[in-house]
Amino acid sequence: MFQRNYETVFILTPVLSDVQMKDTVDKFVNLLKEEGADVINVENWGLKKMAYTIDKKTTGFYVLVEFKADPTIIRKFELEFRRDEKVMRFLTTVLEKHGIAYAERRRKGEFNKKSEAKEEQAK
């Protein structure tokens, strides 16, 4: 079975409670696991302002899921996004070798440490 690395970012409607938002994220992560995908990382970016309004909403809960899966799973995964009314937008991308390296560095927190160091120097 051939597996590729993928990264999906999706935006959930801001009218959800924290519990509803976490349940929705868990639903999609469990769907991936049931289909045989290896979920590498799930990042909740929180409630963020969007660049443009979607359905008269200016904010949304952003979530990133990084996983390794067979390419045939993606169609079913994205169909579930389209069926769920809590999902406003989603984007799935294939990660190539440079994207995989960048994702590993992001998971380790390399980019956060630099911004923290700059804040400490400013003090």
pLDDT band at 45 (very low <50, low <70, confident <90, very high): very high
* Cα 56 from Cα 52, distance rounded (Å): 9
Q: What is the pLDDT of residue 76?
A: 93
If you search the block for the tokens 């999902």, which residue do you land on? 87
Q: What is the pLDDT of residue 121?
A: 61
Domains and CATH numbers, the chain: 4-121 (3.30.70.60)
Q: What is the pLDDT of residue 117?
A: 58
Contact 86, 12 (CB under 8 A): yes
pLDDT per residue as tens digits for the range 94-114: 999 888 888 888 888 877 765
pLDDT band at 116 (very low <50, low <70, confident <90, very high): low
Q: Mean pLDDT of all residues in the chain?
A: 89
